[in-house]
Amino acid sequence: MPTEDMGGFTFAQGLILIVTASMFAPSMANKDWPHKGGSHHPNKIIVGGSEGWRFNFSYTDWAIKNGPVYLNDTLVFKYDPPTDNTTIPHNVYLLPNHWSFLNCNFTGAQILADVTQGGGDGFAFVLKEWKPHYFACGVHDGAHCSFGQMKFFVVPFPVGSND
């Protein structure tokens, strides 16, 4: 099988990612999830639902259970800004590839939201490209990603033309 580099992961890893995503697609058919019934209008999706963006919550499980996202949907990361040692700070990074995601390696990652941007209405990220998007919290040199499960990835589905 070819192993050429495809933007941070090999062809084989990319194939595994696509096969894995297609295996989960039927299980992600949550009747309450946006875009059911032919509607493909962009939606705002709170990452983690009522839990928000916090330490020690499985965002991978959340993403699998809550269904697909589509191009132009908005992911909203909500977390409290740090206060006098009463709130643990968080941030949001976009990791460059699958390897970085698996290893919580922030080399080449792009910070999307700092520790203050999750308050109020939260930080919004619009899914504009049909590709994997790898998100993680980089606080404490990636410890929130590694030990606190503060990471997940999504591959937005293209929007159909049957509106």
Low-confidence residues in the chain, pLDDT < 50: 1-37, 161-163
Q: What is the arrangement of strands in the sheet containing 151-154, beginning at the earlier edge strand?
A: 110-113, 92-95, 133-136, 151-154
Topology annotation, domain 43-154: Immunoglobulin-like (2.60.40)
Q: What is the pLDDT of residue 160?
A: 64
pTM: 0.74
- On whether the CB atoms of residues 117 and 100 are closer than 8 A, the answer is no
pLDDT in tens, 25-41: 433 333 334 444 455 68
